[in-house]
């Protein structure tokens, strides 16, 4: 039986559920999720290998228009994913008022001339009548071959979506070992899990001004694996907030992240977190690269500090 394989970029505006969808499709956690928009900053691949096909899903940062350098770093990754992919999924929220904001991106995808499937996620929020109206709305406005309703949360519609994606992929041998769920190094995933906890625990703008960098990873024959990571903040005044009263905030973040890293690597972990003040790291090319962005777009104009 000929097999199919290829890359599928998972695109859409912030907070529509792209990362949740990738995790649900591969039945594992590789992509970070929170209720706040712009949780994903880096592309991460989740691999689904099923009898006759290997679908490599690329979770991407949400598409948005902000001119800030950090935001442009994010959007440029999403567009890179589209370039390297054989096909794409474009995910939208089921709220019609929000879908209007997708229209400019629908137009850009028309120009990309790649096969794409539209996905109305969070469909469990809609009654039967509303569903047809929302699916029709996206079908009418976008260049997708098909538009499906799914719920990444309840798994409704996911089997149909996988079937659809298989139809878009070219024939080919497996791109990755069939056992693999991601090609991201565990160091990267661990850093992302820490960042997810920052997004979940910290309020307001603070998560958007923090970055995580793994400083040491010592993996000897005996447990625990020793990992230390830096949490960068933008201003001195943010440091005590991340540390919390008596260190309770950073302890909570550390414990939650450690449990997930232990599950990921199947070993006991000793995780140390240090908060470092890196003024204006979000505006400095060198620091953005150190924080993990492979490509930092040229700065069109200087951002105010």
What one-character-per-residue DSSP string does 132-154 give? HHHHHHHHHHS--SEEEE--TTT
Among 25, 29, 34, 260, binds ligand GTP (CB under 6 A): 34
Stretch touching ligand GTP by CB under 6 A, among 47-55, 147-155, 225-233, 245-253: 147-155
Q: Report the nearest approach of ligand GTP to the CB of residue 220 (Å).
A: 35
Taking the C-alpha atoms of residue 265 and residue 83, their distance in angstroms, rounded to an integer, is 31
Neighbours of 237 (CB within 10 A): 9
Among 153, 162, 214, 265, binds ligand GTP (CB under 6 A): 153
Q: Report the nearest approach of ligand GTP to the CB of residue 64 (Å).
A: 8
Q: Is 27 left (phi over 0), alpha (psi -120 to 50) or beta?
A: left
Neighbours of 124 (CB within 10 A): 16
- Residue 43 in contact with ligand GTP, rule: CB under 6 A: no
Assess contact for 52 and 30: CB atoms under 8 A: no
Q: Could you tell me which residues are beta bridge partners of residue 189?
A: none
Among 4, 10, 13, 19, binds Mg ion (CB under 5 A): 19
- Residue 77 in contact with ligand GTP, rule: CB under 6 A: no
Residue 115 binds: one of ligand GTP, Mg ion, none (C-beta under 5 to 8 A by kind): none
- Residue 18 in contact with ligand GTP, rule: CB under 6 A: yes
Residue 153 binds: one of Mg ion, ligand GTP, none (C-beta under 5 to 8 A by kind): ligand GTP
Among 5, 38, 40, 234, binds Mg ion (CB under 5 A): 40
Nearer to ligand GTP by Cβ, of 10 and 233: the residue is 10
Distances in Å between the alpha carbon of 79 and those of 85, 120, 254? 10, 20, 33
Among 7, 8, 17, 194, binds ligand GTP (CB under 6 A): 17
- Residue 26 in contact with ligand GTP, rule: CB under 6 A: no
Question: Could you give phi then psi for residue 129, rounded to 5 degrees?
Answer: -65, -45
Taking the C-alpha atoms of residue 170 and residue 160, their distance in angstroms, rounded to an integer, is 18
- Residue 210 in contact with ligand GTP, rule: CB under 6 A: no
Nearest alpha carbon to residue 56 among 14, 20, 84: 84
- Residue 122 in contact with ligand GTP, rule: CB under 6 A: yes
Q: Could you tell me which residues are beta bridge partners of residue 9?
A: 58, 88
Nearer to ligand GTP by Cβ, of 126 and 269: the residue is 126
Assess contact for 289 and 282: CB atoms under 8 A: no
Binding site for Mg ion (CB under 5 A): 18-19, 39-40
Binding site for ligand GTP (CB under 6 A): 12, 14-20, 33-35, 37-40, 61-62, 121-122, 124-125, 151-153
């Amino acid at each position: 039986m000929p097999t199919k394989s290829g890359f599928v970029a998972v695109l859409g505006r912030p907070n529509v559920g792209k990362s949740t969808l990738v995790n649900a499709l591969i039945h594992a956690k590789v992509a970070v999720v929170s209720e706040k928009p712009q949780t994903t900053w880096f592309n991460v691949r989740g691999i689904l290998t099923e009898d006759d096909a290997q679908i490599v899903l690329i979770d991407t940062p949400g598409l948005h228009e902000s001119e800030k350098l950090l935001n442009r770093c994010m959007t440029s990754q999403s567009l890179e994913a589209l370039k390297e992919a054989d096909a794409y999924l474009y995910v939208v929220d089921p709220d019609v008022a929000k879908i209007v904001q997708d229209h400019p991106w629908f137009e850009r995808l028309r120009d990309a001339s790649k096969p794409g499937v539209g996905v109305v996620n969070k469909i469990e929020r809609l009654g039967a009548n509303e569903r047809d109206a929302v699916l029709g709305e996206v079908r009418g406005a976008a260049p997708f071959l098909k538009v499906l309703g799914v719920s990444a949360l309840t798994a409704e519609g996911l089997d149909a979506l996988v079937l659809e994606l298989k139809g878009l992929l070219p024939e080919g041998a497996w791109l990755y070992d069939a056992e693999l769920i991601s090609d991201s190094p565990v160091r990267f995933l661990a850093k992302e899990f820490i960042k997810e906890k920052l997004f979940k625990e910290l309020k307001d703008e603070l998560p958007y001004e923090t970055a995580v960098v793994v400083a040491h990873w010592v993996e000897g024959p005996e447990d625990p694996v020793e990992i230390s990571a830096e949490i960068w903040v933008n201003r001195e005044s943010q440091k005590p907030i991340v540390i919390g009263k008596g260190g309770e905030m950073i302890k909570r973040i550390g414990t939650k992240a450690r449990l997930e890293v232990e599950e990921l690597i199947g070993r006991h972990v000793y995780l140390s977190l240090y908060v470092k003040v890196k003024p204006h790291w979000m505006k400095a090319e060198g620091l953005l690269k150190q924080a993990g962005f492979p490509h930092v777009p040229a700065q069109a104009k200087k951002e105010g500090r």
